[in-house]
Amino acid sequence: MALDPKSAAVDVVQEAAISKAPTNENSPRPRWEKVQEVIWDGGRRTKEERKLIQKLDWYIMSWATFGYFVRLLDSSNITNAYVSGMKEDLHFHGREYNLLSTYFTCGYLVGQIPSQFLLTRVRPSLYLPIVELLWCIMTFCFAAVPNVKTVFALRFLLGMLESPFAVGVLTLMGSWYTPRELSKRIAIFYSASYAASMFSGYLQAGIYRGMNGTAGLAGWRWLFIFCGVISIWGPLWGFFAIPDNPHSTKARWMRPEERELHIARMSKIERRKPVPLTWAKVRKIMTHWPIYVFTFTLINHCVVTQPLNYFSVWLKSLDRFSVYQINLFPTAGQAVGLVFTLGYAWVSDGIGKRWQVLVVPAILNFVGMVTVASQPGYGATFFGYLINAASWGFWPVLYAWAIEIMHDDMEERAIVIGVAQTFGQAFIAWVPLLILDVGKYAPKFHLGFSVMSGLSVLEFGSIFLIRFTAKREEAAKKALGDTSGVEEVPPVLSKFEVI
């Protein structure tokens, strides 16, 4: 039988770029090689593979990070707009500030799970940019809102249109990146939220000073116009940059031989080709532990990372700061969150540990929650709000761990991440109304922050719940392999042990 020259060429390239490494994986590594592993995808990989991933980063990470930046810019803008004149102009009363988040979250919940099912059927390179474009249009509409009811309606629609994005990006990353690459990328993606919040504070402060009243528009209305102008570039780039998954990509920037290399990389870590989602598959996912344990963990995390949303309200109640300062001070929390989130991810990927790293933000969260709940004084309370932001880096490492645990099942990864994200958002839709009612509990929010201190303990405990269930399942699989007489295959994710 004649040898296919094209297949032979691809095999040669794969061998050179993917498998060209020391034959003994357990041989001692030079110290600099270990340092490279921590800094950025160093270690035992070829120059060809590094270039392959750099090109992938240029397209996926640029689109994903910019898209998340503009989405979180809007979320921050609504808070900044509220304290910069929107409250007085549109006559907000009582708990209506809380409803801004509630309506958005309700829209997010309505769109989240259907979007995850659509992502298993429709090409992400079409679906995600189209939704982004509609989201941009909604953002422009905020500049013309006449009353509070219109704001609520737009917040609901905006939540629906945002729901596919973050989970879609995580699903996309899980299809292209290996364990030693994943946590850093998720952290960079997530860190766009801090950059957005910081930028929104500076943007609103600048607009309020320079454009308030220009063309008869209040400064907070100009904020949404600028946000719309900034965000329009995301979907335009997305139509070109999004590569779907290695087995079905039609990305114009990826050569056929590069596609084969990516398939080979995913095959080495047992990330198989996607298959259509069936009801039998859904039943299998619903009877497997990850959907429940990761959902429980994310619910706790979403609730206990809410305090910074009320930092501006507390600052305004002190009656000692200008509007400019109220918009500016919370950016310090975003800066803390940015540094710590990147730090957790880099260390986690570098040393190959997940649960051990997750313990750190969980402890910091508890310290911050107890501090803002007790409010011993101005300085300590200010510190409590800021240190809470140091715990936000919990979920990028958590999601990297989830993707690795479910590495051989793309559909389960997509559904579990979607359901966990949905329930996390569902709880922050009603919990703030119940225990963080601005009209009733501001500015100290003692009841809410006390309850959240207890939930912080549950977040800490959930780390060990995941570790226990993952170890138990791994032991069961090993025992099954031993009893079947099949030679044991070394774990694909042996570097990221749960012990």
Range of lowest pLDDT (42-46, 260-264, 269-273, 376-380): 42-46
Q: Are residues 170 and 246 in the same domain?
A: yes
Contact in structure between 421 and 166 (CB atoms under 8 Å): yes
Domain count of the chain? 2
Predicted local confidence at residue 477, as pLDDT: 80
The answer to whether residues 361 and 389 belong to one domain is yes
* DSSP-assigned states of every residue in 155-173: HHHHHHHHHHHHHHHHHHH
pLDDT for 478 beyond 70: yes
Cβ count within 10 A of residue 72: 22
State the CATH number of the domain containing residue 104: 1.20.1250.20
The DSSP letter of residue 279 is: H
At 23 the three-state DSSP class reads coil
Residue 3 falls inside a structural domain: no
Sign, Cα dihedral of 224, 229, 235, 237 = negative
Question: Using one digit for the tens of pLDDT, what is the confidence trace for 206-236?
Answer: 776 777 778 888 878 888 888 888 889 999 9
Of the residues 267, 295, 328, which one is the last residue of a structural domain?
267
Q: Does residue 131 fall inside a structural domain?
A: yes
Q: What is the pLDDT of residue 337?
A: 85
> Both 330 and 448 in a single domain?
yes
| 8 in a structural domain | no
- Reported as a pLDDT band with limits 50, 70 and 90, residue 491 is very low
pLDDT at 197 > cutoff 70: no
247 and 310: one domain?
Answer: no
245 and 297 inside one domain: no
Q: Which domain holds residue 164?
A: 46-267
Q: What average pLDDT does range 121-126 have in this prediction?
A: 87
The winner for highest mean pLDDT among 116-130, 150-164, 479-493 is: 150-164
Report which of 245, 236, 243, 105 is spatially closest to residue 163, judged by C-alpha positions: 105
**Which one of 196-200, 240-244, 338-342 scores highest in mean pLDDT?**
240-244
Mean pLDDT of the chain: 80
Domain-located, residue 32: no
Q: Would 54 be classed as within a structural domain?
A: yes
From 422, 355, 367, 415, select the one nearest 391 (Cα to Cα).
367
Answer whether residue 499 shows pLDDT above 60: no
User: Both 110 and 51 in a single domain?
Assistant: yes
At residue 205, does pLDDT exceed 90? Answer: no
Neighbours of 378 (CB within 10 A): 11
In tens, the pLDDT along 444-462 reads: 787 888 889 999 999 999 9
Same domain, 288 and 339: yes
pTM of the model: 0.70
Is position 104 within any domain? yes
| 10 in any annotated domain | no
